[in-house]
Structures are given as structure tokens and as C-alpha cells.
Amino acid sequence: MIGIIGAMDLEIVRLKEQMTDKKEEQLSGVHFTKGKLFGKDAVLAVCGIGKTFAALCAQTLILRYNPEIVINVGVAGTLCDRLSIGDMAIGTAAVCHDMDTSPLGDPVGLISGLDMVEIPLNAQMRETFEECCEEEGIHYVSGVIASGDQFIDDGSKKQWIRDTFCAIACEMEGQAIAQVCYVNRKPCAILRSISDSANGTAADYMQFKELAAEHSSRVLARFLKIE
Ligand code: SAH
């Protein structure tokens, strides 16, 4: 079973259209669709916006469906010059940019209890996603993905996240999903396409979120066909 989580309907709707033998289920307020995607058993979930909903969804998905792998797919803001609208950011690790116990002497972003800042993501899936991007002719960069409960749209905040965590893209769910998977020992991947520049151009997001969601769905579909 492959678990696939998008924050918003638009991030998984294209995959859902291609799913057969669909069975819908509502659990913990999350809508799950189980079925076959390109011949493989898969479950799609729309978790909602932000880290709390994302964690709730990931844990419920793991307990209910016991997937072998979990993939977070969707859109993100860019933090680096090498990633433009429609390009893919593939996660090597995930950080939480709004976790901060530094007044106590901890590094910014430390996940107390796990005692790490970067939650590692599955390297094998990352490499396969990189190959899929190449085959689809979509430019990609692999690196750290930063999550937090904020839509980043400010140059100084963007720069702070990039400089503090060496992160390439920002979004609002990936790290929470990665943290839940890490605790549950489930391999996790984050695949995000760039919808906006995270710098005073929120209008970009409204204009390009569909294009970005289409790109990330296309790369994931290719992955599912070969994996
Ligand atoms: N009320 C809106 C909120 C969307 S938030 C709604 O329900 O549609 C934006 C979503 O896109 C989040 O899921 C986040 O993961 C991603 N995202 C895209 N660009 C982002 C940015 N610049 N900063 C943070 N998250 C971003």
C-alpha cells in the first residue's frame, strides 16, 4: 500500500481521476480514497492546511492502512534562485521553521524528543523522483524542505528560512508528515512543485497553483508507473 497525502484537493485530484476500484472513507475528519493507481494499491488523502491537520492525517493513514511508504505531494514557495514556477523541489530532509526553543540554548528548529533539526527523507524514493523529473523534462532541485504554519510572502522571512536551514522550498505540511513517518518508521518522501516566489507575489500562487499541482501529479504518476 502506498500512502499519498496532499494538503488540498487540487494536489491529488488528478491522481484520483486515474484511480480505479475506488473506496471512499472518512476518518478523523479526513477524506481517504483507497484503490488502484497504475496497478498498485494506494490510498489518497487530503489533509487540509498546516502542520496539525497534516500530522493528524499522516498518523490516521498509517494506523488505518499501514502503508509501506508515504508520499507528500503538492505545491510550495521557492527559496532559491534555481527553482522557478513549475519546477520541482524534491526533499532530502524536512525542517520545521517555526519550531524555536532557542532561548533555552537549543538550535532553532530543534525537534525536542527526537533531538534533530532535519528529519531525513527516503533517499531511494528521492533518486527515483529525480529520474522521473528528467524523463518528464521538468527542472528539479533536491534539498531541504521547510514547513511552518505561515504562508511565506516576505523577502526577509524567506531569506531567514533559507539561510537558517539551507532550505530550497517552503510549504506548510511536509515536515509534520515526515515527523510522523519518522516516529512510525515509515519511509517518507516530499515532492513539491513551485507555485510562487514566496516574496510579495501571493498573486503568483493564485495564478500558478494549478500548473504546479499538475506538474507534481505528473511526476508522481510516472513514479507510480515504474516503482
Ligand atoms: N486558505 C487557503 C490556504 C492555502 S495555504 C486554502 O485553503 O486554499 C497554501 C498552501 O500551498 C499550503 O498547503 C502550503 O503547503 C502551500 N504553499 C504554497 N506556497 C507557499 C508559500 N509561499 N508559503 C507557505 N506555503 C505555501
DSSP code for 173: S
Query: Whole domain around residue 166: which residue ranges?
Result: 2-226
pLDDT in tens, 105-129: 999 999 999 999 999 999 999 999 9
pLDDT the model gives residue 227: 59
Query: 153-162 — which CB contacts under 8 Å span 24+ positions?
Result: 153/77, 153/196, 153/198, 153/199, 153/200, 153/201, 153/202, 154/199, 154/200, 155/199, 155/200, 158/77, 158/79, 158/198, 158/199, 161/79, 161/97, 162/79, 162/80
Q: What's the structural domain count of the chain?
A: 1
pLDDT in tens, 37-71: 999 999 999 999 999 999 999 999 999 999 999 99
d(CA 96, CA 118): 8
pLDDT the model gives residue 122: 98
Ligand 1 atom with the shortest distance to the CA of 153: 22
DSSP code for 82: T
With the most atoms of ligand 1 within 8 angstroms of its CB, the residue from 5, 52, 171 to mutate is: 171
Q: How confident is the model at residue 74 (pLDDT cuts 50, 70, 90)?
A: very high
pLDDT the model gives residue 155: 96
With the most atoms of ligand 1 within 8 angstroms of its CB, the residue from 10, 151, 159 to mutate is: 151
Distance (angstroms) between ligand 1 centre and the Cα of 204 equals: 12
- b/e 66-84 (16+ beta carbons within 10 angstroms → b): ebebbbbbbbbbbbbeebe
pLDDT in tens, 167-184: 999 999 999 999 999 999
Is 171 in the active site? no
pLDDT the model gives residue 53: 98
pLDDT the model gives residue 202: 85
Distance (angstroms) between ligand 1 centre and the Cα of 167 equals: 17
pLDDT in tens, 87-106: 999 999 999 999 999 999 99
- Which residues contact residue 115 at a Cβ distance below 8 angstroms, ignoring those fewer than 6 apart? none
Catalytic residue among 11, 87, 118, 171: 11
Ligand 1 atom with the shortest distance to the CA of 197: 22
Is 196 in the active site? yes
Cell of 162: 533559507
DSSP code for 115: T
Cell of 79: 527559496
Distance (angstroms) between ligand 1 centre and the Cα of 39 equals: 31
- Which residues contact residue 127 at a Cβ distance below 8 angstroms, ignoring those fewer than 6 apart? none
Distance (angstroms) between ligand 1 centre and the Cα of 12 equals: 15
CATH number, residue 99 = 3.40.50.1580
Catalytic residue among 118, 171, 173, 196: 196
Pairing outcome for strands 30-37 and 20-27: antiparallel
d(CA 162, CA 80): 8
Q: What is the average pLDDT score of the chain?
A: 97
Nearest residue to 135 via CA among 219, 16, 22, 213: 219
pLDDT(159) > 80: yes
Ligand 1 atom with the shortest distance to the CA of 198: 22
